[in-house]
Amino acid sequence: MPDIAIIGGGPAGLTALKTLTENGFDPILFEAEDEIGGTFRYRSYENAELVSSKQLTSFSDYRFPLDQPDHISLKEYCDYLGRYIDNFGLRSRVNTGARVISVKRKKSEEGKGHVVEIRRKGSSETETFEVLYLCICTGLHVLPQIPTIPGIQHISSHPEKQVIHSSSYKTQDQFTNKRVLIIGTGETGMDLGYAAVKAGAKEVYMCTRGGFLSFPKALNHFSFLGVTFDSPHPLPIDTLITNLFESSYVHRWVAESRLRWFVSDFVIKRVLWVLTGTQAGCNQWVGELPPERLGRAYVFLNKSQKAMTFINRPYFHRSRFLSFLSSYSDPIEDQETPGHIDIMPAPTGVDSNGRMKFDWEATKMRGGSWPKVAKRMEFRKVEPDLVVLATGYKQEFDNWLGSEYPRPWDATLRDIVKPGEEDVAFLGFVRPGVGAIPPIAEQQSMWWTMLLKKRMEAPVSNPNYYLLSAPTARIKYGVDHSTYMSTLAKDMGSSPSLLKLWWYHGWFVVLVYCFSAAFTTNYRLIGPFAFPEAATIVKTEIWETVTRRGLLGNVIMGVIPMIFYAYINVVAYFAELAWILAGKPVFVEKQVMGRLRRRRRKSSIGRRGVTISGITGRKMNGKVVEMGKEKNM
């Protein structure tokens, strides 16, 4: 019988299946749909592409072909997932068309574990599986999030009008010759706004509640001092952030202050102003976030930028002289397309005639470009034929997961498990500001494997990876991709010191590691999940992302930030030394040790089938790996 039930056949579930299988477990995966792929397959639409690069999105030890475009279609990504499970011989462990209808803990007299009840498609019978551990990978995008808009029934009940959620959008001919209003300016909303213009919609409106931060998924179409940067292979922005002093060798005081985020925000805003004339986003002239939320520390970057060509048209204002010095050009195929998209605030309701209502007085008070929006649109009659709710998704567990179980928001230990209940893991339930969920889920599955194998203790250090959010924010599970990945790697002993990295792999791998982003492969060069091909991937594919920046790009985006942050971290280390000499850390150490002892008492999890006390080692690739330490055999 299997010992782990994995629920969900998207990327998180598949990489968990692979990781657990390779590390001595006997998992089984249940997917309710007929095929694997999850939201990438069943919430896809015409011309949908990944906004994260293939370099970052692919798993550490199974990569995309080098000649494949950086940003691939959702269909191509689902094909990749199929090849992934076939390459590692996992197909027999995947049960598609098997919906989990109930999960319950065993009664105390029955022993440890869980009872999972499933129903296969086309059958009225149910099957039960008894397992020791539970891995929930149902994802962030499950049930449509439907906002409450007073009077919306006046549109939905009209025979020639329609209100749909974005999950029901499939092809752009759904927009042809219609007055379209899209509520939501996330990446899906932007895709739909662009599709509506391209489909020949009569009018296109996009409503945003708090604004958005627009940035292209790849750097291109820039001109500076007469030099044009327009490469056929532009650099994906999620490969830009460097490791050294951004993720590795960061003093905890610097990490806790989020200083790196605020400094990079300050610099990026000034660079954007020089290149595009606006700090609101990359060539974003309207729809900006309020100043207190504008930056890497607060929001998810919106990397679906095609709609900005049409959103900017009524508001773009830059002198010819400044545009001559520097500019950002719209794609040629869009420059000749007529039409525009009108940005609007979130609607407050719909009147009996199907006309949208807005609070224009509050809009004027928002400052920035919003008074211009109010002046342009305040007296416009907005009567859409089609309203699309691009308002995201929510997660629902109550109809199948027993009330005795935690929910993802209870998994406060690295956002994977609830302390004291480490036999239940939630993988893929964090969302990076810039990055991708699949590689995060892969690293999460490694982390959980270490915990189950008793090869590390539950960490007690405070997390410094959360994006900052207001108390009223709907999404509170945002993380900084590189900081989160680095934190998990440090927990596992997979975050290499430069000296150890040089000793095992040489100076060239050290160089690439320092200048490259937080790719999962970088954290498999040494440590418990090291594999021989990792160095080859780093020397070839990951090195290619570094060289694509060019010499000037690596100086500006690599060398200068490293020198600056090196200085900041050195100052922090000397400040801590002074703190130690003053005798101050004794209290801090007592706090940490006290918390560790309390955690151990609470988490000796004998009653849950897992123990996290003690450290053990195992043989891997000819080495004994022990809590991040390696010894040659």
DSSP-derived secondary structure for 609-621: T----S--EEEET
Indicate the angle between helix axes 259-276 and 560-581, nearest 10 degrees.
Answer: 160
Residues pairing with 131 in the sheet: 114
Residues 142-154, mean pLDDT to the nearest whole number: 93
Other residues' Cβ atoms within 10 Å of the Cβ of residue 613 = 12
For residue 263 the two structure tokens come to 């400094």
Question: What was the pLDDT predicted at 275?
Answer: 86
* Residue 58 maps to a domain: no
- Three-state DSSP state, 279: coil
Contact status, residue 623 vs residue 630, Cβ threshold 8 Å: yes
Q: Is the pLDDT of residue 194 over 50?
A: yes
Residue labelled with tokens 């900052």: 468
- Residue-level pLDDT at 585: 56
Q: Which is more confidently placed, 604 or 6?
A: 6
Whole-angstrom distance, CA of residue 282 vs CA of residue 216? 7
Task: Region of 423 please: left (phi>0), alpha (psi -120 to 50) or beta.
Answer: alpha
- 530 three-state secondary structure: coil
String of DSSP letters for 427-489: -S--EESSS-HHHHHHHHHHHHHHHHTTSSPPP-SPP--BPP--TT-S---EE-HHHHHHHHH
Three-state secondary-structure class, residue 100: strand
The b-or-e profile of 236-273 (16+ CB within 10 A means b, else e) is bbbbbbbbbbbbbbbbebbbeebbbbeebbeeebeebe
Q: Is 586 exposed, middle or buried (0-12, 13-18, 19+ CB in 10 A)?
A: exposed
Per-residue confidence (pLDDT) for residue 473, from 0 to 100: 64
Q: What is the mean pLDDT of residues 620-630?
A: 35
Report yes or no on 314 lying in a domain: yes
Quick one: pLDDT band at residue 610, thresholds 50, 70, 90?
Answer: very low
Spatial distance between the Cα atoms of 239 and 516, rounded to a whole number of angstroms: 7
Query: Is residue 359 a part of any domain in this protein?
Result: yes
pLDDT, mean of residues 72-99: 97
pLDDT at 167 over 90: yes
Q: How far is CA 625 from CA 444, 525, 530, 620, 633, in A?
A: 19, 13, 10, 7, 10
Confidence at 596, pLDDT banded by 50, 70, 90: very low
Instruction: Tell me what pLDDT residue 582 has.
Output: 84
Tell me the torsion sign for CA atoms 301, 303, 307, 310: positive
- The yes-or-no verdict on residue 71 having pLDDT over 90 is yes
pLDDT band at 70 (very low <50, low <70, confident <90, very high): very high
Taking the alpha carbons of 542, 544, 549, 551 in that order, is the dihedral positive or negative?
A: positive
**Position 245, amino acid:** F
Angle of CA points 146, 149, 155, to nearest 5°: 95
Going 101 to 104 to 109 to 111, the CA torsion angle's sign is positive
Q: Is residue 464 part of a domain?
A: no
Concatenated DSSP letters for 531-562? -THHHHHIIIIIHHHHHTTHHHHHIIIIIHHH
Q: What's the count of helices (H) and strands (E) in the chain, helices before strands? A: 22, 27
Answer yes or no: is 116 within a domain: no
Q: pLDDT tens across 404-459, in order?
A: 999 999 999 999 999 999 999 999 999 999 999 999 999 999 999 999 999 999 99
Query: What are 117's strand-pairing partners?
Result: 102, 128
Q: What percent of the chain has pLDDT over 90?
A: 68
- What band does 580 get if pLDDT is binned at 50, 70 and 90? confident
Q: Which of 277, 355, 281 is nearest to 323 (CA)?
A: 277
Residue 202 burial class via C-beta count within 10 angstroms: exposed 0-12, middle 13-18, buried 19 and up: middle
Average pLDDT score over residue span 326-343: 90
Q: Which of the pair, 139 or 201, is modelled with greater confidence? A: 201
Chain-wide mean pLDDT for the chain? 88
3-state secondary structure 332-391: HHHHCCCCCCEEEECCCEECCCCCEECCHHHHHCCCCCHHHHHHHHCCCCCCCCEEEECC
pLDDT for 616 equals: 32
176 Cα distance to chain centroid = 32
Q: Are 483 and 297 in contact (CB under 8 A)?
A: no
DSSP state of 310: H
Residue 248 forms beta bridges with which residues? 244
Report residue 585: phi and psi, to 5°: -70, -15
DSSP per-residue codes, 18-75: HHHHHTT--EEEEESSSSS-THHHHT--TT-B-SS-HHHHSBTTB---TTS-SS-BHH
Kindly give the interhelix angle for 437-452 and 481-492, rounded to the nearest 10 degrees: 20
Domain count, the chain: 1
Asked whether residue 593 carries a pLDDT value surpassing 60, the answer given is no
Average pLDDT over residues 561-589: 81
Q: What does the block give as tokens for 510?
A: 């050290």
Separation of alpha carbons 362 and 411, rounded Å: 38
Alpha-carbon span 426 to 103, nearest angstrom = 14
Give the list of residues 6+ apart from residue 314 with CB closer than 8 angstroms, or none: 286, 340, 342, 376
Distances in Å between the Cα of 232 and the Cα atoms of 31, 214, 235, 441, 551 are: 39, 22, 10, 31, 18
471 confidence band (pLDDT: 50, 70, 90): low
Q: 552 — alpha (psi -120 to 50), left (phi > 0) or beta?
A: alpha
pLDDT at 474: 64
| pLDDT tens-digit series, residues 302-311 | 999 999 999 9
- The pLDDT of residue 614 is 31
Domain range spanning residue 323? 280-393
> Does the structure show a pLDDT above 70 at 472?
no
